[in-house]
Structure 1
């Protein structure tokens, strides 16, 4: 299991939300460029960047973020406000390693169908897509966690798999930003239902013990760690050591 450090951006500032609430924001005294460089300098090659403005339909951050993403040599897993096929193509063609899709995949029935068959040359776009599943009490949330979907969690996973999408970023909202431990039971349920998925865990990770608990499931591809880094619960050096060990085992 690989650890992916996270950077959430709101109004061009590095932040973390508590349980997805835009009214409960912690702002950190470091720029996006500085944080990316901290990770790069410590051997991290994959970073998770979320545009929180974009997630709620405000695209004022996007030109700022795109410029930084295009200039870094790190692999970027990017999400927030990806609302069209054209935007997915723009990001991947510009060098974004993975694009996270959430709201549009849930609210527009044709979006994933179109994306599933989109190919250009050697690029199969579905291979670069991460399906975001943000969950609160087994209810899928979207639009910056402000809306609820009527589709059942496992049914949605099955639908995505049937169209060729296999990598899922599952955020346990009840854990997110609280440093209260990872959603191990939720992830176990998803993996028991669909053992073939590539699952990325997110939310609540507060220590290396939480990382170990996720790793003990044996089937989680990676996990996203954010607030625990900023609050000095997990060091970048620990992440580097873990990821090196994971790569050696792989």
Structure 2
């Protein structure tokens, strides 16, 4: 299982919140470009940058994202507020290794399917789940469509991956892992899990879930709960052992 550090941007600053939580994000007095370079130096093979401001309708942090891509020296995936073909293609043109589309993938799936065919291995569909239901527009709206239906729609589409973010007002980490595990079972594209890990114990449980290709980590790395070296050690377990979550 690959470890992918996440940088969330809001107003040019790093922000984070505990995995699985819908509380307001905490701002950090760290330079996002320096943080990206630090994680790359510590062994990250890939980064995720989420433009949280653009996701909730504020100005995009394009300048900061461009600088991260330019200086990180490793592939940088970018998401947040990419809700049109023009925005997606502009971000690819500006150097994103992959783009993550969430709201667009729910509201305009045919367009996203076409984008995936035009840009092979560069489109990741993000499904944000709150108490098991799909949410969009920066988690502001709850949708009637079931995540399983969306997964079925995208089955023939050549996606680079599917990012599953599990949040919950009442669900604990076991419930969120169970939901992600259920959706990952039999998946045809690499599954990236988010909203799960606040501790190495959480990560160790996720590492044994079949079908999970990557764990997205933001808040615990920023808080220093554990470092990348520890995360990598836990993630690289014997894949022969898998866990079942009912």
User: Does the C-alpha gap of structure 1 residues 209 and 109 become closer, same or farther in structure 2, counting only changes over 3 Å?
Assistant: closer
Q: Residue 160 of structure 1: CA displacement? A: 1.3
Q: Residue 17 of structure 1: CA displacement? A: 3.5
Q: Which residue of the other structure, out of 142, 145, 148, is the alignment partner of 1:151?
A: 145
| Secondary structure, aligned partner of 2:66 | helix
Structure whose residues are more often strand by fraction: 1
Aligned 8 A contact 1:182 1:210 in 2: no
Matched, 1:173 2:167: yes
Corresponding residue for residue 195 of structure 2: 203
Corresponding residue for residue 31 of structure 2: 31
How do 1:54-73 residues align onto structure 2 when only pairs under 5 Å count?
54-73=54-73
Corresponding residue for residue 234 of structure 1: 226
Cα distance in 2 for residues equivalent to 1:51 and 1:61: 6
What root-mean-square deviation, in Å, do the aligned CA atoms of Structure 1 and Structure 2 show?
2.6
User: Does the C-alpha gap of structure 1 residues 218 and 109 become closer, same or farther in structure 2, counting only changes over 3 Å?
Assistant: closer
Structure 2: gaps (5+ residues) = 241-246
How do 1:102-113 residues align onto structure 2 when only pairs under 5 Å count?
102-113=102-113
Task: Report the count of equivalent residues.
Answer: 237
Aligned 8 A contact 1:113 1:163 in 2: yes
Q: Residue 90 of structure 1: CA displacement? A: 2.5
User: Does the C-alpha gap of structure 1 residues 226 and 69 become closer, same or farther in structure 2, counting only changes over 3 Å?
Assistant: same
Corresponding residue for residue 183 of structure 1: 176
TM-score, normalising length: structure 1: 0.84
User: Does the C-alpha gap of structure 1 residues 164 and 68 become closer, same or farther in structure 2, counting only changes over 3 Å?
Assistant: closer
Corresponding residue for residue 121 of structure 1: none
Q: Residue 95 of structure 1: CA displacement? A: 2.6
Q: Residue 52 of structure 1: CA displacement? A: 0.4
